[in-house]
Structure 1
Amino acid sequence: MIVLVIFLALLFMIFINVPIAVALAISGVIGIVAAEGMGALVTVALDMYNGATKFSLIAIPMFVLAGAIMNASGITQRLIDFVSALIGFVRGGLAMVNVGVSLFFAEISGSAVADVAALGSVMIPQMKKRGYKAPFAAALTSSSASLAIIIPPSIPMILYAVSAQTSIEQLFVAGVVPGIIGGAGLMLLCWYFARRYNLPVEAAFDTKRLRETFIAALPTFALPVIILGGIFGGFVTATEAGGLAVLAAIIIGFWYRETDFKQLRRAMLDGAMQTAVVMVLVAASVLMGGFLTRAQIPQDLAAALLDITDNKWVILAILNVFFLVIGFFLHSAAAIILVVPIVVPLITQVGIDPVHFGLVVTLNLAIGQQTPPVASVLITACSIARANVWDVSKINIYFIAVLLLVLLLCTYVPVVPLFLVELLYR
């Protein structure tokens, strides 16, 4: 009965626009007091502090800062120029450039919102200028940014790993192959739209231009080598790789000598706000998580589902639907922090690999970033493109279909995400 009251109180506060972190903290405190009395509140502040200061969480502001430095120092523009020279000659090539650059940028920022904000402000106006309709440009930019959060590094993956107490590095490795498959699928869909609507061809392929843009962007390619090479090679942890990414981005930015300090300051402030929101969510979740654990809610949920079926594929289907629905209403960070600790005992009991499940959760919430009413990434793209959300959503259905296919592939063919993990770690 206590659990039901707390859950209803949490939903009520969310629906009246109380910040989710505050609602979580209040609900957790209510649960603790109801179950254990006022004396249990003595350690609340210390528990919240300890929860938000885990070493692995330091990776989040590091990757956000690295992305901000990239965008303010000419690194992003050089990357766009190179990818445009490489594939821009194909019909609809600028749309493919959008996908390619988004996947690369995500290797540094780890955030879909940062990705769409940084690249959308450059790519969407260029696409509109060349005859692409605003809803198409916004839908493509939004979907490719959300797909990119399964490419390492990924802030949702870091949060999942902390919540599920599994390896961040293995999660990062698991995202590589699905990310490449999803990117190829989005590019193929771009090619289809280009043929159907006679989208423009950029400048003809020019070996000289390709060579010049490659040389100009060459220092930029050091960033994924440092991040992914360090993590996959076992030389650094994900947190240490975040620090190295910041250092490398600063050095490369000074090399180009184009740093816009006003833009950098604005991006750093935005990144700090984004990080603060996540950390407050993590701190608040400690209270709720502690109460749920002591109330045996995760174990009761696992037992109830296992009474229905113990087939892990059916359970994965149920959880997929559950996370897709949750994604309609909660941001990815809030959904992971609120739900993952509850379902981890269930997936453990039925033999689902936590790394495999982490990728499934991340993909579900990536799709949730594209589906109103919350749809944080989609709304950001619409704002940049000055396009109506519903007009964009009509086009975005096709791109979401690609994301769903990747989700089904990763869910029911585990070798796709786990191949590299097995090769490198097991």
Structure 2
Amino acid sequence: MILLFGLFFILLIIGTSIANSMFISSIIYMIYYGLPLEMIPQRMAAGVDSFTLLAVIFFVLAGALMNRGGITTRIFTLAEKCVGHYTGGLAHANVLASIIFAGMSGSAIADTGGLGAIELKAMKDGGYDEDFSLAITGASSLIGPVIPPSVPLVLFGVTASQSVGDLFNAGIIPGILLGIIMMVVNYFICRKRNYGVSPKASLKEVLKCFIWAFWAIFLVVIIRGGIAFGVFTPTEAAVIAVAYAIILGLIYKAVKIKELPSVIKETLGTSVSVLYILSAATLFSWILTYEQIPQTIAGYLIGLTDNALLLLLIIMLILLFVGLFMDITPAIVILTPILLPAVSAVGIDLIWFGVIMILCLLVGLITPPVGMVLFVLSGISDVPIAKISRAIAPYLVASIGVILLIIFYVYLMTLNPSLPKLY
């Protein structure tokens, strides 16, 4: 194992991508120890040979279409009319828009890239400091991958062989809780900085704006209702979301037929990258399993403690640390098989563990040095990542606080199985 991990980290240090680092180190390890090389294509193909993974591709495409189709503008405008008159109104609208958009896209990057430009312009026009605007835009984007549909939850479901529908149901309350906590942080920061508020919209204005955005928001009802009542699977919901986004974009005259190939091309680039990471991580994980690393680590963790609460807290620290240096996709595929034996051994509900794992890894998106959301925000604003990181710190603390709340609830649920699962 020293050879495998040594090569992996050396490749990372010299600037090789995570996917290539996993792929190259796995091949060298297999050649050195004489493992059958025909397992390379077999394991890599097996890693992406899943009908459920189609949901990832189609939800990414749906998010891209919504960003181009004028849907994000309508969502943010409605959110502003609803909460803009409170202290920190535009910041609250930022969070509320992310909660609504989360029910459509399931991606933090889609939220940041789509809603972000609209939110940043509105907050700048409203007199908000740029660093604060960037901070809340980045922090609120974490809600997207928690509230269903969620691309990371799909990946966890496939890797852990758990029901994606159950994972989607379990993500609703934590996602909303994350949004509420962020609004509380907004209130105190905005009151301290004495930001202005928007004029209170009349009920007539709110209703008019709701009607204007109704068909965009109705997509959330279709996706959630269809999955909840068993009308279609999460994968089928993703396809329906794409079709609905295309139709809506054409009706709103925000998307033209000739633009669809460029949107699809953009999605293919993202999808191929995700699938390559998954296939390389599957090969890497297979070697770990072959060497019984998951069982060894599970035994070590259980040796430290067989208390579910302490184990969850230890795993939380591990995941937060990993999230600093590794993107969420390979982290899910590599760490899930390693951690699941220990989690199962102490009786922790695997659906809730999936939500906790995703929340912990998502924190890495807004923390340097590899935080993808920080890079996106810096790219669209030219503000240094260090400045954005300082401004986003209160939301980072708030996000970890939400994770702790969920961990303590899950622990109580393991002690008393009669407690409601909240999904």
Higher relative contact order (CA 8 A, sep 6+): 1
Structure 2 regions of 5+ residues with no counterpart?
Answer: none
Deviation at 1:43, TM superposition (A): 3.8
What residue in structure 2 maps to residue 132 of structure 1?
128
Residues 323 and 364 of structure 2 are in contact (CA less than 8 Å); yes or no, is this contact kept in structure 1?
A: yes
Residues 327 and 367 of structure 1 are in contact (CA less than 8 Å); yes or no, is this contact kept in structure 2?
A: yes
Amino acid at match of 1:122: I
SS of aligned partner of 2:103: helix
* Shift in CA distance, 238/207, structure 1 to aligned 2, threshold 3 Å: same
What residue in structure 2 maps to residue 184 of structure 1?
180
Q: TM-score, normalised by structure 2?
A: 0.94
* Shift in CA distance, 187/360, structure 1 to aligned 2, threshold 3 Å: same
What residue in structure 2 maps to residue 23 of structure 1?
21
What residue in structure 1 maps to residue 273 of structure 2?
277
The reply to whether residue 244 of structure 1 matches residue 237 of structure 2 is no
The reply to whether residue 174 of structure 1 matches residue 153 of structure 2 is no
The equivalent position to 1:335 in structure 2, one of 331, 336, 341, is 331
SS of aligned partner of 2:254: coil
Deviation at 1:419, TM superposition (A): 10
What residue in structure 2 maps to residue 53 of structure 1?
49
Residues 246 and 255 of structure 2 are in contact (CA less than 8 Å); yes or no, is this contact kept in structure 1?
A: no
Task: Give RMSD over aligned pairs.
Answer: 2.1
What residue in structure 2 maps to residue 365 of structure 1?
361
SS of aligned partner of 2:250: helix
What residue in structure 2 maps to residue 302 of structure 1?
298
What residue in structure 2 maps to residue 12 of structure 1?
10
Amino acid at match of 2:24: I
Tell me, in whole angstroms, the C-alpha distance in 1 between the residues paired with 2:245 and 2:14. 41
Deviation at 1:261, TM superposition (A): 6.4
Tell me, in whole angstroms, the C-alpha distance in 2 between the residues paired with 1:380 and 1:10. 26
What residue in structure 2 maps to residue 396 of structure 1?
392
Amino acid at match of 2:92: M
Tell me, in whole angstroms, the C-alpha distance in 2 between the residues paired with 1:264 and 1:189. 39
Amino acid at match of 1:15: I
What residue in structure 2 maps to residue 255 of structure 1?
251
Amino acid at match of 1:94: L
Residues 177 and 416 of structure 1 are in contact (CA less than 8 Å); yes or no, is this contact kept in structure 2?
A: no
Amino acid at match of 1:75: I
What residue in structure 2 maps to residue 91 of structure 1?
87
SS of aligned partner of 2:144: helix
* Shift in CA distance, 325/423, structure 1 to aligned 2, threshold 3 Å: closer
The answer to which of 265-274 and 202-211 deviates more is 265-274
**1:275-321 residue CA offsets vs partner (Å, 9 max, x unmatched):** 21110011112211222112111111111222222112111111111
Q: TM-score, normalised by structure 1?
A: 0.93
**1:156-183 residue CA offsets vs partner (Å, 9 max, x unmatched):** 1111111111111111111101111111
Deviation at 1:323, TM superposition (A): 0.5
What residue in structure 2 maps to residue 75 of structure 1?
71
Deviation at 1:25, TM superposition (A): 1.4
* Shift in CA distance, 352/322, structure 1 to aligned 2, threshold 3 Å: same
Tell me, in whole angstroms, the C-alpha distance in 2 between the residues paired with 1:327 and 1:416. 27
* Shift in CA distance, 216/386, structure 1 to aligned 2, threshold 3 Å: same
Residues 174 and 420 of structure 1 are in contact (CA less than 8 Å); yes or no, is this contact kept in structure 2?
A: no
Structure 1 regions of 5+ residues with no counterpart?
Answer: none
The answer to which of 415-424 and 172-181 deviates more is 415-424
The reply to whether residue 100 of structure 1 matches residue 92 of structure 2 is no
Structure 1 residues 157-168: aligned runs within 5 Å: 157-168=153-164
Amino acid at match of 1:396: I
Tell me, in whole angstroms, the C-alpha distance in 2 between the residues paired with 1:262 and 1:129. 33
